[in-house]
Amino acid sequence: MEDRGKLLIVDDEPDMLALLERTLAPETGWEIRTAASGEACLAVMGQAPPDLVLLDIRMPGLDGMDLLERIREMAQAPTVVMMTAYGVIDLAVESIRKGAYDFITKPFDNTRLVLTLRKAMEYHRLLHENRDLQELVQGPSLFQGMVGASPCMREVFETIRMVAKTDATVLVTGESGTGKELAARAIHRLSPRRGRAFVAVNCPALPENILETELFGYAKGAFTDAKQDKKGLFQEADKGTVFLDEIGDLPANLQTKLLRVLQEKEIKPVGETRSVKVDVRVVASTNRDLREQMKAGAFREDLFYRLDVVGVKLPPLRERKEDLPLLVEHFLKRHARELQRPGLTVPPGFMEALQQSTWQGNIRELENVLKRSVIMARDGALAFPEPPEGRSETPPESTALLDLPYREAKDRVLQSFNRDYLAALLARHNGNVTHSARACGLERQSLQQLLRRYGVRAEAYREPSS
């Protein structure tokens, strides 16, 4: 399959977007998308990361300079070329210092525009090839953004390499924070579909009716606000990969429709009478035991076996603690660079403290703790690692409780239970209070009151913004 370049054009003027797309599409043969704002750019990049971004400096809301910084912080960041008018060339020069590849001025000379973008695309490809080569040279410790040299992780890497070459549906399993989306992206990048879209869908994040229209699209007139036909994410990802994150939360109605996609390779948009053929590879993930859900009637057995053609099981961090030094080095380098805190030293006992933790939130929790250590560093030394506020790592010892009056001992045990339960609940749902409340059968407001009462912070269990 041809590996076409992917260009995203960002400008707040619709006429400029149309002109650039008309000019560049026939000249380059690339897959071109457009966005009319910085916020729209981030949304498009979340669905289908581009190789190259052509970005206007002056835009309302999130402007080009701020957006450039956001893009440069991303893993596997695209190459950026800035657009500017003659009057703000000083900003364009500043953008080069902040990581842009080049800039061009309006009005454009079409020949120079195409030449600049071709050079930027070639630069991006060389950078990508060099990153892959570095991973080969460095050995098994770094694999498509995943870090590990333990036997269980080497087995994961080998499984990903093998399954990526095929078009088989893959089910990635593992606890929250183990890196399931990283594994899915690795499968896509190593597959023949790597030049096409990778579309990630967080199944629990959207209500059922909205999730259905997002996945499958809708026809004009299907409901009150359906003013025109809208393609769903399966059509947007045609010839690419759809990643269905936390598939165990997919409602029964949509499980049936997904089964049809896997069996027939077609979808039916909401309000449409005819089916539409799609060519997509599906990678799904879950932190739940789908076999138990099947027994309870909450997950279709036929869908499970369609999804689980090849399984990739990611081990929890507590089962691969020999990888801790590699992970610590990786995250400390990343955050020291991003937070501009170079040359930090590691205090005595730092690694020993990390080794003693149970890491309920796995790699995500470890990264949060290390990022905090970098932020709170003093006198050139990392802050000593602490678990996120409100998390009780070990329950009170029974012998210590016997030295207390009965009521005080009982209160301590209840507090420990509540903190541990709330911590595990938030870890499972990535710090999302709404999903956690739904899962444990409480009203959202009641759960928030418990979190405040026991000093448990949902933010500590969320994925880092960087």
Instruction: Check pLDDT > 50 for residue 248.
Output: yes
Q: Which pLDDT does position 181 carry in this prediction?
A: 93
222-245 confidence digits (pLDDT tens): 777 778 888 889 988 888 999 999
Q: Side by side, which strands form the sheet with 6-10?
A: 31-35, 6-10, 52-56, 79-85, 102-106
39 versus 86: the higher-pLDDT residue is 39
At the fourth CATH level, the homologous superfamily of domain 6-135 is Response regulator (3.40.50.2300)
> What number does CATH give the domain 317-387?
1.10.8.60
Q: Which pLDDT does position 132 carry in this prediction?
A: 57
180-195 confidence digits (pLDDT tens): 999 999 999 888 888 7
264-313 confidence digits (pLDDT tens): 999 988 888 788 899 999 999 999 899 999 998 999 999 999 998 889 99
Which sequence spans correspond to the domains of the chain? Answer: 6-135, 147-315, 317-387, 397-466
- CB contact at 8 A, 159 and 132: no
The radius of gyration of the chain from alpha carbons, rounded to an integer in Å, stands at 24
Q: Which pLDDT does position 224 carry in this prediction?
A: 76
- CB contact at 8 A, 200 and 47: yes
Residue 43, exposed/middle/buried by CB under 10 A (0-12, 13-18, 19+)?
A: exposed
Question: Backbone phi, then psi, for 264, in 5-degree steps?
Answer: -105, -10
At the fourth CATH level, the homologous superfamily of domain 147-315 is P-loop containing nucleotide triphosphate hydrolases (3.40.50.300)
CA atoms of 242 and 234, how far apart (whole Å): 7
344-376 confidence digits (pLDDT tens): 888 878 888 888 888 888 999 999 999 989 998
CA atoms of 332 and 368, how far apart (whole Å): 11
Q: Which pLDDT does position 87 carry in this prediction?
A: 59
Instruction: Check pLDDT > 70 for residue 141.
Output: no
**DSSP per position, 287-315:** SS-HHHHHHTTSS-HHHHHHHTTEEEEPP
Instruction: Check pLDDT > 80 for residue 465.
Output: no
Averaged pLDDT score across all residues of the chain:
84
Helix (H) or strand (E) holding 146: strand 146-147
Tell me whether domains 6-135 and 397-466 share a fold: no
pLDDT band at 464; cut points 50, 70, 90:
low
Q: What phi-psi label fits residue 296: left (phi over 0), alpha (psi between -120 and 50 degrees) or beta?
A: alpha
Q: Evaluate whether the domain defined by 397-466 bears CATH number 1.10.10.
A: yes
- State both tokens at 239: 């010839």
Q: How many CB atoms lie within 10 A of CB 459?
A: 10
- CB contact at 8 A, 103 and 82: yes
Q: Which of 50, 8, 44, 29 is nearest to 236 (CA)?
A: 44
Instruction: Check pLDDT > 90 for residue 178.
Output: yes
16-66 confidence digits (pLDDT tens): 999 999 999 999 989 999 999 998 998 888 777 899 999 999 898 888 888
User: What counts of helices (H) and strands (E) characterise the chain?
Assistant: 19, 14
93-139 confidence digits (pLDDT tens): 788 878 888 888 888 888 989 999 999 998 888 777 665 555 544 44
Of 213-227, 391-405, 409-423, minimum mean pLDDT range = 391-405
Q: Which of 83, 78, 112 is nearest to 95 (CA)?
A: 83
Distances, alpha carbon 184 to alpha carbons 193, 233, 244, 354, in Å: 13, 17, 10, 27
Percentage of residues in the chain having pLDDT higher than 90 = 30
- CB contact at 8 A, 51 and 7: yes
